[in-house]
Chain A
Amino acid sequence: MQAWCRGRGVTPRPLVRMAQLWELAFAWYATRLEATARRPGPDEMRRIFAGLGLNDPFWDPQADVFS
């Protein structure tokens, strides 16, 4: 991944394991077809990410540190 990013001149970002990705997918979409479903708001997103150990500012939905 590092070499791939270097080849494209992009900054490597945090990596997510498949088990974590499933947890994200489930948190985001398990209720999507239900009438009461709502997209997670910024605070809920932070809680979801933090619960999976994704604490980098990369995952902050309101971060202003990235250009």
Chain B
Amino acid sequence: MDFDTQVKLTVYHHFASTAHAPPVAHVAAQLGCSLEDVRQAYARLRANRVLLLESDGCTIRMAPPFSGVPTQHRVEMGRQTYFANCAWDALGVPAALHREAVVHSRCGQSGTLLRLQVGTTGPESSTWLFHCLVPAAQWWVDLVFT
């Protein structure tokens, strides 16, 4: 397994088990490598649109569907609460972890609080709609805005 994939999986498994982004030192310790090795891998993963990093180059803002910062899209799964980057990613968390979840969010139009039960095969029946302002070709131009 190539090094970047090892880094990616370490990041993702840390998110899955803790609901938080791993400190770069943790990733380095898990892989027995230097902080600089991890930073360089992060840069390549960012270039390949796997991770979104903060300006320091080593703090993970997004490992989609997981958010490294609190957002309005909370995904409750047992005793764990994850933050997702958007409504799509809020469904992506139970999809990635193959577990049932309850998604809490807010309607971007009305501000109404939303709660959605999601099973392992999909969400409960709903009339809600997803609307994304940014065309697919521009998603990664400013992924936080997207």
Contact = CB atoms under 8 A, between A and B. Distances in A.
Interface of A: 1, 4, 10, 12-13, 15-22, 24-26, 28-30, 32-33, 35, 39, 45, 49, 57-64, 66
A19 B49 CA distance: 26
Contacts of B79: none
A22 B122 contact: yes
Given A25-B88, A29-B92, A39-B49, A58 B12 contact: no
Interface residues of B, number: 39
B92 A25 contact: yes
Nearest to B130: A16
A35 B80 CA distance: 24
Contacts of B133: 10, 13
A16 B129 contact: yes
Given A1-B109, A39-B48, A66-B137, A29 B123 contact: no
B113 interface: no
Interface in B91-146: 91-93, 95-98, 108-109, 116, 118, 122-123, 126-133, 135-138
Given A30-B95, A30-B96, A32-B65, A22 B131 contact: no
B129 A17 contact: yes
A35 B7 CA distance: 11
A21 B49 CA distance: 20
A24 B12 contact: no
B9 interface: yes
Contacts of B48: 39
Contacts of A33: 9, 12-13, 16, 96-97
Nearest to A66: B135
B34 interface: no
In the complex, the 6 A-B pairs of residues with the closest C-beta atoms, listed nearest first: A25-B91, A29-B92, A16-B130, A29-B96, A25-B92, A22-B122
19 contacts: A10-B133, A13-B132, A16-B131, A16-B132, A17-B130, A18-B127, A18-B128, A20-B130, A21-B88, A21-B91, A22-B122, A26-B91, A26-B95, A29-B64, A30-B96, A33-B12, A57-B135, A66-B137, A66-B138
